[in-house]
Structures are given as structure tokens and as C-alpha cells.
Amino acid sequence: MRKILAVLAVTVTVFSVEGLRGLPSGYCESGKHHGSKTEPQFKEKYFTQTMDHFNFNSMGNGTFSQRYLITDEYWKKGYGPIFFYTGNEGNILEFALNSGFITELAAQQRALVIFAEHRYYGKSLPFGKDSFNIPQIGLLTVEQALADYAVMITELKQQLAATDCPVIVFGGSYGGMLSVYMRLKYPNIVAGALAASAPILSTAGLGDSRQFFRDVTADFENVAPECRDAVRGAFHQLKELAEREDYSCIQSEFSLCKPPSSAQDIHQLNGLLRNAFTLMAMLDYPYSTHFMGNMPANPVKVACETMLSGSDLLTNLRNTAGIVYNSTGLLTCFDLYNLYLECADPTGCGLGFDSLAWDYQACTEIDLCYESNNVTDMFPPMPFTEKDRELYCSKRWAVVPRPDWLKIQFWGDALSTASNIIFSNGDLDPWANGGVRKSLSSSLIAINISGGAHHLDLRGSNDADPVSVVRARKTEADLIAQWVKMERTRLRQSS
Ligand SMILES: *[C@@H]1O[C@H](CO)[C@@H](O)[C@H](O)[C@H]1NC(C)=O
Ligand SMILES: *[C@@H]1O[C@H](CO)[C@@H](O)[C@H](O)[C@H]1NC(C)=O
Ligand SMILES: *[C@@H]1O[C@H](CO)[C@@H](O)[C@H](O)[C@H]1NC(C)=O
Ligand SMILES: *[C@@H]1O[C@H](CO)[C@@H](O)[C@H](O)[C@H]1NC(C)=O
């Protein structure tokens, strides 16, 4: 789901603050806050977290240091609400820097802002570098992550004298799924959730395996049907070269570091190329960004211009992949196995340690069996069935996925008894149709953002924003203010 391609293009200055463990740990973000008008000064802190919330024997009272970022600069102390970002599969700093709406809203509603890092990602590794070994990886579950957040919120409220402050959770993508689950599981702790681009249905097995790459294709087709045709044509030419085993030609056309030499290498090349289109569709923002790598403004349009720029389709395809993998312009050749990792998530696991953790989650609770077929989408047929997933996961992590579990545990589409959740989705986002698109009640509200890519609404406001997202943020702000008010009433009545 997420793929971090480049080191953050921001500078951070480190200074000492008292961490919760009494250790000096902290920094203050002083880099560009892309697209946002506010410049929050987050402090980095660590929370002493229980390693295993559900088995008292396995780790005893063992703990680990869980990172969170906090700013109280907008907070009406002891009274204003708490806006808590339920961190997802990556370094929490990256989410904090790309979710300017939350701090803008905090400034309006005088909220305390906390961005919590998900266990096993970024710096929150329960077993340090051994975290990704078997069986240490086993404490990486959605349930443990939710319990972390529930415990953290409860204890921080006490430490900060904020026990009467309503808590609203925020999240994008998998983080949005976690926000939904927090409201379902801990409505006593969390008054409402803004779940942006949260594919809670498809990941629970309630989707169509063709949906994702079909919707990626639609983005390119909507720029120009010839663009889709050019992409399909280029993959067709690549297939023909591969069938002739003309590997040296493939190497030179795609500037590969090493010549491919097997069907597996061609499969990897197809995966790497398809991943570039996936990323551009997800991150099709109207201004350039540095989130999961560097993207130009309107990357899908840029890609289509590149795909249609000359008569050599393979050159065009290579240059289009270069928008994603060669954004620095410094790449001398494409390294097939370094730029892209195949994993249990066909939409990409990213690179580095975070990709290991995400692969494990895609092998256990989170079902991402998406495939391309060259009929309902423009990509080469790349099947990924539940059976394929099972084989891969038992080999890689010694686990057997449980495709029904997420749906049982977190209700699937049977959400009618839930309340106070916003499901926002942009129509450019290939994840959108894996989520809730229609309001289910007066407090389970779906918002469509036309012209919006992956959780555009969570980003800070920008002059290039479509009116749809400006309106969506206004609706979200009003609902959240309403929930905060309701929660104050509830807390008063119960005390
Ligand atoms: C667990 O708690 C006991 C009793 O407070 C203490 O003696 C022990 O050191 C703790 N163990 C760990 C792993 O923290
Ligand atoms: C990366 O971009 C630079 C600048 O546009 C270009 O010269 C170079 O050939 C590209 N690398 C690859 C592997 O395509
Ligand atoms: C996609 O389908 C077209 C039309 O059937 C076919 O000619 C082409 O070879 C296929 N492309 C791939 C990569 O399989
Ligand atoms: C949002 O768009 C989807 C897909 O076009 C549509 O089915 C749905 O009814 C719309 N939902 C709202 C709340 O407007």
C-alpha cells in the first residue's frame, strides 16, 4: 500500500527534550511543511509500551519504546480536544509532514495534536533489528497496534491533565482503517474518526480482485484513451521481446543495470513498471509532493505526455517509469530487484524495514489479492490469487493468511451500529472503491472528493486544491466540532 522511495526532503534539527522515559530524545521539525500554511513544531517523544497486550506469559511485562510526535502549540490546555493520528505503515514523521489539514484544524479548534507511530515501523521496533525475525514478528497485528493507541491515549491524557478532553482519531489509507477500528473498538476512548482513503472493505475480502488496477487504468484513460493504448502497446512489445528471449534488447530499451535472463526477471520488470503507474495514480496531486518519493504536479498527466511523446513506445515507457524511479535524474540504470520488491501486496510494499513489516501484515490479516489481467486494465496479466498468497506467505513468513479474519474482527460492511465516522475518498484514488462510498447513517458519512487522489483531504491546504477538497475539509471540520461537543456532553453526564 505504501512505498517509500526516497529519503525525506526535509531538514530536521535535533534538540533535547525530556522524553517520557526521562531520556533526552526529541527534535523540532523546521523543514518545509509542504502545502501547509501552518508550521507545527512537533516534539519527538517515546512512550513505554506493553509488548504483548494479549498474552501475559509470552513477554511478561516486557515493554518497548514507541515513538510519537506531539505539539500543544494550538491547544487550549486541559480543555481543547485531542487530535490523534493512528500511524500506519511507515515512519510517522512522513505522515506528520503530509497531513497539514490536521494541524490547520487543530489551530481552528484549539486541539492538542499527536501523531503515533505504528509498532514495527520507523523507530518503533519492539525487538530492534531482530523485530523482523520469526517469531518476533508475531507481535505485529492490527489488534496490538490498536491496543497500543488505546493505552497511549489513556496514559497521555492523565500525564497531560487532559482526562476531559474529547479525542478524535485521524488516519489515511491503512491509518484510516485503524481510525475506523479505534472508533469501533474503543468508543469509550475515541469520540469520532476521520478515515481518509481507507479501503476497509477490499482489505477484508469484500472486493473485486480486478478493481485496483482497473481504477489505476481509468486515471490514465481519463487523461487520454490513447495514453492507455500506448501503455498497453508498450507492454505488448515488451512481451514480444521476452517471448523471443531478446534480453539484450530489453536491457538497452529499459536501461537495465543487468540483462534479464529468465521469465522471473521479466515478471519482475513488469511488476516494477506497473508499480510506477500505481504510485502516480495514488499520488496524482495538483502540485508536486515529497510523499512516498518525489512526484511532479499532476503526475498522471505528465506520464501520459511522456507515453505519447515519441514513436518508440518502449522508450516512452522507460521514461514514464523514470518519473517515479529517477525523479532525481541521477539514476544511471534501473536495478530490477533494488527499486521494487515483490511481496504479498501487489500494489507495492515499499523498500527497507517498513516493507518487511507491511509484507507480514499482507500475509496475515490484510488481504490485498489484487491482480492485473490486460482486459479490465492496461497491464500485463499478473495473477495473485488467495492460493498464490498462501504459498508465498507460508514460505516467506511461515504463516497461513486468514482471509476472513479482518471481516469478522472489524465488522466488514455490517457497520450500521457504529457512529461518528467519516469515510472520505477521492475519485482519482485507486483505493477509493475498496472503501465505503455511500453514507450509511447520519453519523457514518461518506464524502466524495472529485479530482482527489489518495487522502488529499488530509494534506495541508494549497492554492492548487480543487474546490471539492476545500468543501470536504469544511464538512469534516464541522462534523468533528459537533462530535467534540457531543463528547463533552457525554463526559459531563457520566461524571
Ligand atoms: C516485571 O515486573 C517485575 C515486578 O515489578 C520486575 O521485577 C521485573 O523486572 C519486570 N520484568 C520486566 C521484563 O520488565
Ligand atoms: C535519469 O534521468 C536523467 C536526466 O533526465 C537521464 O539522463 C538518465 O538517462 C535517466 N536514467 C535512466 C536510467 O533512464
Ligand atoms: C494484451 O491484450 C492484447 C489484445 O488481446 C494482446 O495483443 C497483448 O499481447 C496483450 N498484452 C500482454 C502484455 O499480454
Ligand atoms: C460517491 O461516488 C460514488 C462513485 O461514483 C457513488 O457511487 C456514491 O454514491 C458517491 N457518494 C456520495 C456520498 O456522493
pLDDT profile of the chain (495 residues), mean per 10: 41 28 29 48 97 94 97 98 98 96 98 98 97 98 98 98 98 98 98 98 97 98 98 98 98 98 98 98 97 93 97 97 97 97 97 97 98 98 98 98 97 97 98 98 98 98 98 98 97 85
Same fold, 29-206+435-494 and 211-349+367-382: no
Q: Is the CB of 448 under 6 A from ligand 4?
A: yes
Pocket residue to mutate for ligand 3, from 237, 238, 239, most atoms within 8 A of Cβ: 239
Q: Is the CB of 61 under 6 A from ligand 1?
A: yes
Pick the residue whose CA is nearest to atom 9 on ligand 3. 236
Pick the residue whose CA is nearest to atom 5 on ligand 4. 427
Rounded to the nearest 5 degrees, what angle is found at the Cα of 253, between the Cα atoms of 374 and 302?
Answer: 65
CATH for 29-206+435-494 is 3.40.50.1820
Q: Which residues are catalytic?
A: 173, 429, 454
Q: Is the CB of 329 under 6 A from ligand 2?
A: yes
Among the listed residues 304, 295, 305, 323, the one whose alpha carbon sits nearest the alpha carbon of residue 220: 304
Give pLDDT, residue 292: 83
Pick the residue whose CA is nearest to atom 11 on ligand 3. 236
Distance CA 124, CA 81 (A): 26
Q: How far is the CA of 329 from the centre of ligand 2 (A)?
A: 5
Q: Output DSSP code: residue 495.
A: -
Closest listed ligand to the CA of 429 = 4
Alpha helices, DSSP H, located in 367-466? 386-397, 405-409
CATH fold group of domain 211-349+367-382: Four Helix Bundle (Hemerythrin (Met), subunit A) (1.20.120)
| Residue located via cell numbers 492490527 | 142
Query: Ligand 4: which atom is nearest the Cα of residue 445?
Result: 13
Q: Is residue 420 a contact partner of residue 193, using CB atoms and an 8 Å limit?
A: yes
Distance CA 459, CA 103 (A): 10
Q: Is the CB of 294 under 6 A from ligand 3?
A: no
Alpha helices, DSSP H, located in 244-297? 247-253, 263-282
Q: Is residue 146 a contact partner of residue 182, using CB atoms and an 8 Å limit?
A: yes
Q: How far is the CA of 435 from the centre of ligand 3 (A)?
A: 30
Give pLDDT, residue 40: 74
Is the bond into 135 cis (omega within 30 degrees of 0)? yes
Q: How far is the CA of 233 from the centre of ligand 3 (A)?
A: 8
Q: How far is the CA of 158 from the centre of ligand 2 (A)?
A: 54
Pick the residue whose CA is nearest to atom 14 on ligand 4. 448
Closest listed ligand to the CA of 332 = 2
Q: Is the CB of 446 under 6 A from ligand 4?
A: yes
Distance CA 459, CA 412 (A): 27
Q: Is the CB of 235 under 6 A from ligand 3?
A: yes
- Signed CA dihedral, 444, 191, 86, 131: sign only: negative
Pick the residue whose CA is nearest to atom 7 on ligand 4. 437
Q: How far is the CA of 379 from the centre of ligand 2 (A)?
A: 24
Pick the residue whose CA is nearest to atom 8 on ligand 3. 236
Closest listed ligand to the CA of 331 = 2
Query: Ligand 1: which atom is nearest the Cα of residue 63?
Result: 14
Q: Is residue 8 a contact partner of residue 97, using CB atoms and an 8 Å limit?
A: yes
Domain boundaries, the chain: 29-206+435-494, 211-349+367-382
Strands (E), 146-235: 167-172, 192-196
Cell of 37: 500554511
73 Cβ neighbours under 8 A, 6+ residues apart: 40, 41
